[in-house]
Amino acid sequence: MKTNYVCRIFNGLIIGRGFDSRRLHWQFTISHMNKIIKTSTIFIASLCFIQILPALSIDFRSSDHEEFTRIVFEADQKFTYSVRNLPGQLQIFVPQHARINSRSLAMQNSRLLDRITHESKEGKYIITVIFKTAVSVNKNFVLEKPFRVVFDLVKSEKQIPQPPSNPKSIETPQNDPPHQPSSEPVSSKVKPIETICIDPGHGGEDLGALGKSKLQEKDVTLQISLKLKKLIEAKTGLRVIMTRDSDKEVSLNSRASIANNQQAQIFVSIHVNSSFRKSAYGSETYFVSLQATDPEALELARKENQNPEDPGETIINDELKMILWNMAQTEYIRASSTLAEYIQKELNDLLNTRNRGVKQAPFRVLMRTAMPAVLVETVFISNPTEEKKLQKDEFLDKIALALFNGISKFIYYYNHIVT
């Protein structure tokens, strides 16, 4: 009210409506008054800005995996945080106003989590994850676009020790690692997996294999890939890129370039198989090699290697390319073999189909990727029975889940041997 009164007097000064400065005995000049009003305006505007400034919005999700439970805090903007481990709980301190959007904070079906609580206290937002049993933080890392803080939790036989004061992230002692396939560790310079590239085979004018009912490989591979992308993002919080997300043609060179340029750490090329023998059925998973496992694998690689950019290009007879490829790919061969083993086992178990095994062949798209890479021939579109299954959404869901389970197990194995 006082501000309004001052403003009315000030208006009288400006427009000259009989204001008598001598009668009121003002002790300050018009310039003083301007400064006061300007300062007040800035102060009031600041208060309004503070009120309308949106709070940090955080979404929470969790997922149980075979060897660990992952919790993800996804935010609409970057934020700093500190972590404190206490017996039976994990506290995350965020030094700003925030809110968790999750309505269901009781974790009835989680293997390790009991519930999540959150409160604002002394200028900090405190998120407390309460466990059902003793738990250790196996991994803690941050991902971008969108911003995510990720914790991998494992069951512990003893209480979690107190961390140092004010750490940004804590890595507590790990349990014994799971049984690992017989393969040599990849380079210790490689960081834990954060980005996965999914490659839906064929697309656009490149139809791929055709089924008896004219079902096209390019359509099936895209459907499976989109389902797999959704699973990975929802259950792990990892970044997923795709070489195509619509019906368009992408060259083999471009597919590998997308994965390399986006610094993907896993490359999975998804296909359906075809054979002149209508009785052929089951799944196959390939990793790259100059020598094919058998004549059928070599013929499959020949078909998949057809390059729209240069139909006459060959890889097998190009000695220089082979030397360069050998130098670039050697460190990823064993990791690719392990990834293929995990995926093939899941396909066999979940789809209850014939195990055609892990194979090797000189696939061009795999040769040009600088990361563990596999090509998956899910089932045979040339087999009438399997083609009918491919037309059912539930079956495609099963394939995507099998691929996800295999990738997830490989990530756990891989992250343990590079850290």
Q: Could you tell me if 20 and 85 lie in one domain?
A: no
Residue 77 has pLDDT above 90, yes or no: no
Q: Is the pLDDT of residue 246 over 60?
A: yes
Kindly tell me the sign of the dihedral angle through the C-alpha atoms of 233, 236, 238, 243. negative
DSSP for 179-236 reads P--S-----TTSPPP-EEEEEE--BTTB---B-TT--BHHHHHHHHHHHHHHHHHHHH
Same domain for 291 and 279, yes or no, is yes
pLDDT for the residue 375:
94
Which range among 74-78, 307-311, 383-387 has the greatest average pLDDT?
A: 383-387
Answer whether residue 166 shows pLDDT above 90.
no
**Residue whose entry in the numeric block shows the structure tokens 């792990």:** 236
Select, from the ranges 6-15, 50-59, 79-88, the one with the highest average predicted confidence (pLDDT). 79-88
Per the structure, the complete domain to which residue 81 belongs is given by 56-155
Single residue among 155, 181, 207 that ends a domain in this structure? 155
Do 115 and 130 reside in the same domain of the chain? yes
Residues 130 and 69 in one domain: yes
Q: Is the pLDDT of residue 60 over 60?
A: yes
Burial of 21 (0-12, 13-18, 19+ CB in 10 A): exposed
Number of domains forming the structure of the chain: 3
37 plus 96 within the same structural domain: no
Q: What is the mean pLDDT of residues 37-46?
A: 51
- C-alpha count within 13 angstroms, C-beta hemisphere, residue 282: 15
Residues 6+ apart with CB under 8 A from 61: 71, 72, 74, 102, 234, 237
Question: Does the residue 167 lie in any domain?
Answer: no
User: Is residue 185 one of the residues assigned to a domain?
Assistant: no
Domain presence at residue 240: yes
Tell me the DSSP string of 98-156.
EEE--S--B-TT-SSEEEEEEEEETTEEEEEEEESS-EEEEEEEEETTTEEEEEEEEE-
135 and 150 assigned to the same domain: yes
The band of 266, judged by pLDDT with boundaries at 50, 70 and 90, is: very high
According to the model, what pLDDT value does residue 325 have? 54
Query: How much is the pLDDT for 81?
Result: 80
pLDDT at 155: 86
Decide if pLDDT at 390 tops 90. yes
Q: Rounded mean pLDDT of 99-120?
A: 76
Which of 155, 183, 213 delimits the end of a domain?
Answer: 155
**Of the candidate ranges 4-8, 149-153, 237-241, the one whose mean pLDDT is the lowest:** 4-8
Does residue 162 have a pLDDT over 80? no
**What is the torsional sign of CA 3, 8, 13, 14?**
positive
Residue 153's nearest CA partner among 79, 75, 63, 237 is 63
Q: Tell me the backbone φ, ψ of residue 184, rounded to 5 degrees.
A: -75, 150
Tell me, yes or no, whether 251 and 281 share the same domain. Answer: yes
pTM: 0.57
Same domain, 93 and 207: no
More confident residue, 18 or 389: 389
- Say what the pLDDT of residue 165 is: 38
The alpha-carbon radius of gyration of the chain (Å, integer) is 30
Pairing outcome for strands 69-75 and 147-155: antiparallel
Per-residue pLDDT band for 228 (boundaries 50, 70, 90) equals: very high
**Contact present, 315 and 304 (Cβ < 8 Å):** no
**CATH code for the domain in which residue 368 is found:** 3.40.630.40
State whether 64 and 35 are in the same domain: no
The verdict on residue 168 lying in a domain is no
For residue 74, give the CATH number of its domain: 2.60.40.3500
For the stretch 267-325, pLDDT in tens is 999 999 998 888 889 999 998 865 555 556 546 556 565 655 544 444 444 544 554 55
Does one domain contain both 306 and 340? yes
Q: What is the Cα–Cα distance from 388 to 40, expressed in whole angstroms?
A: 74
What is the number of other CB atoms lying within 10 angstroms of the CB of residue 283? 26
The mean pLDDT of 62-72, rounded to a whole number, is 86
Average pLDDT of 78-83? 83
Kindly state the average pLDDT of the residues 156-168. 45
User: Which tens digits make up the pLDDT trace of 113-156?
Assistant: 888 888 888 778 888 888 888 888 888 888 877 888 888 888 87
406 pLDDT higher than 80: yes
